[in-house]
Chains A and B, each alone.
Chain A
Amino acid sequence: GEDVEQSLFLSVREGDSSVINCTYTDSSSTYLYWYKQEPGAGLQLLTYIFSNMDMKQDQRLTVLLNKKDKHLSLRIADTQTGDSAIYFCAETSGATNKLIFGTGTLLAVQP
């Protein structure tokens, strides 16, 4: 079945790089996504990658996709305290391309 796994928690110091990892199951996913959820706010799309790409860079964000291992990662360079949030990866699934979300990784940035 559909299952997207993430580690629950990551703590980094301000200025360091953060790497959040995700494994997914649906090899037919067309796109894979990273969403950010801050306290009291709605989910916000950070970035997405098409399944035929290995890497996508967008300012401080780098997404790496290993399709063979069904592994997705999000690297945040020069992590700031404002990056503290829960990060969800998501895959598209089925004929309707509905999004299936992972369990989320809480990123805590220490000043």
Chain B
Amino acid sequence: GAGVSQTPSNKVTEKGKYVELRCDPISGHTALYWYRQSLGQGPEFLIYFQGTGAADDSGLPNDRFFAVRPEGSVSTLKIQRTERGDSAVYLCASSVDRVTGELFFGEGSRLTVL
């Protein structure tokens, strides 16, 4: 596709459940980022992939959060034992140019934990 695609666009789950959020970056973009945006806040960095490897995972809040990008394209953000505080919009972005840092964002996956 032409842009970054994220699925699902909306996910409602119950506290304690496991959730997977998918990101399909722009073709040819080697850098992929996950951010989390809570209501009224700016995007908060979670993790950055360069190719298949996580180059920087310093933003993951705890070990319930994990992300993979096994073939260097699609990425999945996995959240175990979800908590109400995990409710947010999870944004994915990709970039071809790491130097200038121009990121192309998807529309996000809105996660609501009841």
Chain A residues with a Cβ under 8 A of chain B: 4, 30-31, 33, 40-45, 48, 88, 92, 94-104
Bound form: Cα–Cα A104–B105 in Å = 16
Interface size on B, residues (CB 8 A): 29
A42-B4, A42-B107 are known contacts. Are A101 and B42 too (CB-CB below 8 A)?
Answer: yes
Ranked nearest first, the 10 interchain pairs of A and B with the lowest CB-CB distance are: A101-B42, A42-B105, A43-B105, A96-B56, A42-B107, A101-B43, A103-B42, A104-B42, A96-B55, A102-B42
Residues in B neighbouring A4, C-beta threshold 8 A: 42
B35 to chain A, nearest CB (A): 8
Choose from A42, A44, A100, A103 the contact partner of B91 (Cβ within 8 Å). Answer: A42
Whether a CB of chain A sits under 8 angstroms from the CB of B90 is no
Tell me if A's interface is mostly helix, strand, loop or mixed.
loop
Task: Check if A45 sits within 8 Å of B103, measured CB to CB.
Answer: yes
B90 to chain A, nearest CB (A): 12
A39 to chain B, nearest CB (A): 11
Choose from A31, A44, A104 the contact partner of B100 (Cβ within 8 Å). Answer: A31
Bound form: Cα–Cα A48–B3 in Å = 20
A31-B101, A41-B107 are known contacts. Are A98 and B42 too (CB-CB below 8 A)?
Answer: no
Residues in B neighbouring A104, C-beta threshold 8 A: 40-42
Give the residue name and chain of the B residue nearest to A41 (CB): B107
Bound form: Cα–Cα A32–B15 in Å = 38
Task: Check if B91 sits within 8 Å of A88, measured CB to CB.
Answer: no
Q: List B47-80 residues whose CB lies under 8 Å from chain A.
A: 48, 50, 55-56, 58-59
Give the residue name and chain of the B residue nearest to A101 (CB): B42
Residues in A neighbouring B25, C-beta threshold 8 A: none
Task: Check if A98 sits within 8 Å of B48, measured CB to CB.
Answer: yes
Task: Check if A99 sits within 8 Å of B91, measured CB to CB.
Answer: no
Q: What are 13 sample pairs from A and B whose C-beta atoms fall under 8 A apart?
A: A4-B42, A33-B101, A42-B91, A42-B106, A43-B91, A43-B103, A92-B101, A96-B98, A97-B98, A97-B101, A99-B33, A101-B35, A104-B42
Whether a CB of chain A sits under 8 angstroms from the CB of B20 is no
Residues in A neighbouring B33, C-beta threshold 8 A: 98-99
Q: A31-B101, A96-B55, A98-B48 are in contact. List 9 more A-B contacts (CB 8 A).
A: A42-B105, A43-B91, A98-B33, A98-B59, A99-B33, A99-B101, A101-B35, A101-B43, A103-B40
